[in-house]
Amino acid sequence: MNARPMLLLSIAVLLLPGIALAQGASPESELRSKLFELHRKAVSILERVEESANRGTSLDLDQMMEESITLSTRVARLKDEAPAANIQGMGRGAPMNKTLLLVTQASMSLEAMLHALTYFAGTEDRAFLGFAKENNSLVWSVRKVM
């Protein structure tokens, strides 16, 4: 066998496991990253709503509602994906996955946060803003133990 093809084959064999690992992140890592991204976006909405409420300025209700609904849809999908991945792993004999359980828990609070923000925007009842902030605190609490 020619030395050049053998060298290329050897390099490929050495590099392929690393490439496959980088492409195939674990479900818990992928879902945790999704949670962090969605939470960051929800906090951005919360900050804008809170700033508007504190200043007494009107909020672009249509834009906020659109953002919140889009985000809620993504959070609901995450809330379904995390336990499904956990059940799938358990079906292969793995124990319950703490990270996936925490992603599920945080996504439930994140969903409640977004609903409360929507309700506040529609009613201007500050109780809903308080509920949104409390749910945000719950998401941060879950994230701390991940």
Domain coordinates of the chain in residue numbers?
26-144
Nearest to 103 by CA among 90, 86, 115, 118: 86
pLDDT for residue 5: 55
11-39: per-residue pLDDT in tens? Answer: 444 444 433 334 568 999 999 999 999 99
Contact of 99 with 28, CB cutoff 8 Å: yes
For 6, 61, 116, the CA distances from 109, given in Å and listed in that order, are 55, 22, 10
Place 53 in a pLDDT band, splitting at 50, 70 and 90. Answer: confident
pLDDT band for position 52 (cuts 50, 70, 90): confident
Output the 3-class SS for 10-61. HHHHHHHHHHHHHHCCCHHHHHHHHHHHHHHHHHHHHHHHHHHHHHCCCCCH
Mean pLDDT of 68-90: 96
Where would I find the H helices in 56-125?
A: 61-91, 98-123
Task: Please give the class, per CATH, of domain 26-144.
Answer: mainly alpha
Please state, in angstroms and rounded to a whole number, the distance separating the CA atoms of residues 112 and 10.
Answer: 53
The model's confidence at residue 60, banded by pLDDT at 50, 70 and 90, is: confident
Q: The pTM is what?
A: 0.80
